[in-house]
Amino acid sequence: MAEDKEREEGQERPSRPSTAASRRERRGTARPAAAASTGKDVDPKTERVKAVRPAGKTDAADAKDKKGRATPSRERKAEKVSFFARIARFLREVVSELRKVIWPTRKQLITYTAVVLVFVAFMVALVSGLDLLLGKGVFWLFG
Amino acid sequence: MLSAFRSALATPDLRRKILFTLMIIAIYRVGATIPSPGVSYPNVKRCLENVDDQGVVQLLNLFSGGALLQLSVFALGIMPYITASIIIQLLTVVIPRFEQLKKEGQSGQGKLTQFTRYLTIALAILQATGIVAMADRGQLFGNCQDPIIPNSNIFTLIVIVVTMTAGTAIIMWFGELITERGIGNGMSLLMFINIAARIPAEGAAILDKGGVTFAVVCVFALLIIASVVFVEQGQRRIPVQYAKRMIGRRMYGGTSTYLPLKVNQAGVIPVIFASSLLYLPDLISRLVGADGAGWQNFIANYIVKQDSWVHISVYFLLIIFFTYFYITITFNVNERADEMKKFGGFIPGIRPGRPTSEYLQFVLSRITLPGSLYLGIIAVLPNFFLEVTDSGQNQNFPFGGTAVLIMVGVGLDTVKQIESQLMQRNYEGFLK
């Protein structure tokens, strides 16, 4: 936590560009300079780059931190729940999901069953017909 | 429905696909009847009549469409290919290199397919050797005196093993051809054919027990089929809203659709996985040879015997495990969420990106539990009805369990594929 605070303070200190456009401009100028030049003046510039870059994200970081602070108590509560209670909860969720399932209507069920039966009957007839013929052929050939 | 059949055959493209599939099936059956070189066909025929062997060989026989006990060219059926693809898919979780390959997309997937094929050949050699050894020792058909391989020198045996392995390679090719150029998923369609080939014989066997039994079995089978259809059709529809977009002067999108999650998203694959995994211990113990060791007795008494509670519960648990496993592999929630985000879609009330994928995961894991339980129950169900069929014949019993799941699953899949092809041409389909 202490480190976080320090970082936040550090982020507040340098004068931040207020608009996105100006921020982009600053970054655009700062980076090549830092990469190209060597020697004394590198240090402060890279310092500034480091300071500026997270600064752009502070809004998101703030939101995250807020969330991080709010949630722990809830998470701790969840951990305390016993194994059986968790199973019970899981089962309850299973039931609630099952309620949301769309089952086939009676008509659909009958159609699908009929289609499957016809398909299976056709295949069985085809295969057994083939087998009968082939069996006779093989018997004639080898038997 | 008849008009749909006619229009299916009237469409040239679809007709070619259907006829191609039927042709492959016909060739497949030819291979399944031709005996391997060196096998005495009359002796096999005589032995088949008084076969009373129980358990896993029967199951294998079911999956190979009766070709196994005939020692035909295609004796091994599609099983080695299925086992190999299971193993490779399992390995993608374990071995990082495989995982990388899987993520690589097209080329990596090609590499994995290559591995699967090599593994198939290896498994086929192993299994063919086992079966030939058993046939040579006369163990294949319980107590049959006639020599199945009359001239059993080492050369003949090697020729049989090579023939069967080559047969498996051809079956593998057939399966891929059907998937590519025909209708339906080749692997499961060939499996379906194997089961369909056994139905007349099994039906006749049940009819022998009396008309009442047969009627009861038929009603029971119809009920199971209807319930399987019912669950297969159950969908959890997750609403997806697409954002409106302006491209030029026109407005696109802004539609609301749904993402269908089936209750049984995994299909029949987990059942096939589980049953093929369960026969491995028996295969190993048979390959080692019966020297009456303790572990072999354990396998024979608990894992092979289908009415033992160990077998039933292991089978059930394996199915549940594989259902979850297979769904994790095939339905990548992160990918779905990303896709949705890319095309400007979102689930109302849930942010795009990670929250969406978490929500999908949540729903999927909840909806899969009943799905996997249903798969397990349907697959295990016939084991409780040993009185209706002969004991040991229950897995073989094509109106219950694994076989029905495969039949209905493949049937629905294939018909739906034909249907969608018809829809492309604005014909009225089978399913109104």
Q: Are residues B249 and B310 in the same domain?
A: yes
Phi/psi for B174 (5° steps) reads -55, -45
Same domain, residue pair B153 and B18: yes
Question: Does A135 map to a domain?
Answer: yes
A138 vs B1: CB contact, 8 Å cut-off?
no
Q: Is residue B205 domain-resident?
A: no
Residue where one domain finishes, among candidates B157, B183, B199 = B199
Q: Is A45 domain-assigned?
A: no
Considering the domain architecture, whether residues B194 and B242 belong to the same structural domain is answered as no
pLDDT of residue B344: 80
| Residue A131 touches chain B, beta carbons under 8 Å | yes
Write the residue in B35, B263, B415 that is nearest to A142 by C-beta.
B35
pLDDT at B268: 78
- Greater model confidence, B251 or A17: B251
- Contact between A34 and A46 (Cβ < 8 Å): yes
Closest in A96, A109, A116 to B408, CB measured: A116
In a domain, B311, yes or no: yes
pLDDT of residue B315: 86
Q: What is the pLDDT of residues A48-62, one digit of tens each?
A: 444 444 444 445 445
Which residues lie closer than 8 Å to B370 by C-beta, 6 or more apart? A94, A98, B263
Q: B101 and B241: one domain? A: no
* ipTM, two decimals: 0.79
User: What is the model's pLDDT at position B317?
Assistant: 92
pLDDT at B21: 92
Tally the C-alpha atoms within 13 A of residue B345's C-alpha that lie toward its C-beta.
Answer: 19
A101, B236: Cβ pair inside 8 Å? yes
Assigned domain for B214 exists: no
Q: Which pLDDT tens digits describe chain B residue by residue (432 residues)? A: 556 677 777 778 888 888 999 999 999 988 888 888 877 777 777 776 665 544 445 555 666 666 676 778 888 888 888 888 888 887 887 888 888 887 777 888 888 889 999 999 998 998 888 888 777 776 666 556 667 777 778 888 888 899 999 999 999 999 999 988 888 888 888 888 888 887 877 777 777 777 777 787 788 788 888 888 888 888 888 888 887 777 777 766 667 788 888 888 887 778 877 877 777 777 677 666 656 566 667 766 666 666 677 888 888 899 999 899 888 877 888 888 888 888 888 888 888 888 999 999 999 999 999 989 988 888 887 766 655 555 444 444 555 577 788 888 888 888 888 878 877 776 555 555
Q: What is the Cα–Cα distance from A33 to B91, expressed in whole angstroms?
A: 50
Would B194 be classed as within a structural domain?
yes
Q: Which of B314, B361, B300, B407 is closest to B54 using CA atoms? A: B300
A115 within domain boundaries: yes
B222 chain-A contacts, CB cut-off 8 A: 113
In a domain, A119, yes or no: yes
Whether residue B45 is found in the same domain as residue B181: yes
> Domain for residue B28, yes or no?
yes
Q: What pLDDT shows up at residue B428?
A: 59
Q: Please measure the distance between the N-terminal and C-terminal CA atoms of chain A and give it in whole angstroms.
A: 88
pLDDT-derived band at A2, boundaries 50, 70, 90? very low
- Whether B235 and A114 lie within 8 Å, measured CB to CB: no
Residue at A32 is within a domain: no
| Domain annotation covers residue B18 | yes
Overall number of domains in chain A: 1
In this structure, what are the phi and psi dihedrals at residue B316, rounded to the nearest 5 degrees? -60, -50
H or E element, residue A92:
helix A83-99
Range of the domain at B72: 11-199
Residue A1 has pLDDT above 60, yes or no: no
Asked if B300 and B368 sit in the same domain, the reply is yes
In a domain, B77, yes or no: yes
Instruction: Report DSSP letters for B137-175, one per residue.
Output: HT-SSSS--S-SSSS--HHHHHHHHHHHHHHHHHHHHHH
Taking an 8 Å cut-off on Cβ atoms, the answer to whether B42 and A142 are in contact is yes
pLDDT at B136: 77
DSSP line for B278-314: HHHHHHHHHHH-----HHHHHIIIIII-TTSHHHHHH
B216, part of any domain: no
DSSP-assigned beta bridge partners for residue B239: B258
Full residue range of the structural domain in which residue A118 is found: 105-142
Q: How many residues does chain A have?
A: 143
Interface test with B, best of A90, A131, A133 (most B CBs within 10 A): A131
Tell me the average pLDDT across A37-45. 45
Question: Quick one: B155 and B255 in the same domain?
Answer: no
Contacts (Cβ under 8 Å, ≥6 apart) of A123: B192, B193, B196
d(CA B234, CA B375): 14
Among candidate residues B199, B222, B257, the one where a domain is terminated = B199
Closest CA to B5 of B431, B430, B432: B430
Give a yes or no: residue A29 inside a domain: no
pLDDT score of B172? 92
| Chain B residues touching A101 at Cβ < 8 A | 234-236, 263, 367
* A127 found inside a domain: yes
Strands (E), A2-111: 101-102
Which of these three, B143, B174, B199, is where a domain ends?
Answer: B199
Calculate helix-pair angle for B211-233, B186-208, nearest 10 degrees: 150
Instruction: Look at residue B292 in the predicted model and tell me its pLDDT.
Output: 59
Residues of chain B with C-beta less than 8 angstroms from the C-beta of A92: none
Cβ–Cβ < 8 Å for B193, B29: yes
pTM of model > 0.80: no
Residue A88 lies in a domain: no
Which of A102, A113, A135 has the CB atom closest to B226's CB atom? A113
Which secondary-structure segment (H or E) carries B356? helix B354-380
pLDDT above 90: residue A16:
no
Q: Nearest CA of chain A to the CA of B89: how many Å?
A: 28
- Determine the pLDDT at residue B171: 92
Q: How many domains would you assign to chain B?
A: 2
| Partner-chain contact A143 B41, CB within 8 Å | yes
Instruction: Looking at the structure, tell me whether residues B306 and B368 fall in a common domain.
Output: yes
Question: Which chain A residue shows the shortest CA-CA distance from B43?
Answer: A143
**Residues contacting B62, CB < 8 A, separation 6+:** B194, B195, B198, B395, B396, B398, B403
More confident residue, B4 or A105: A105
The span from the first CA to the last CA of chain B, in angstroms, equals 9
User: B360 in contact with A at a CB cutoff of 8 Å?
Assistant: no
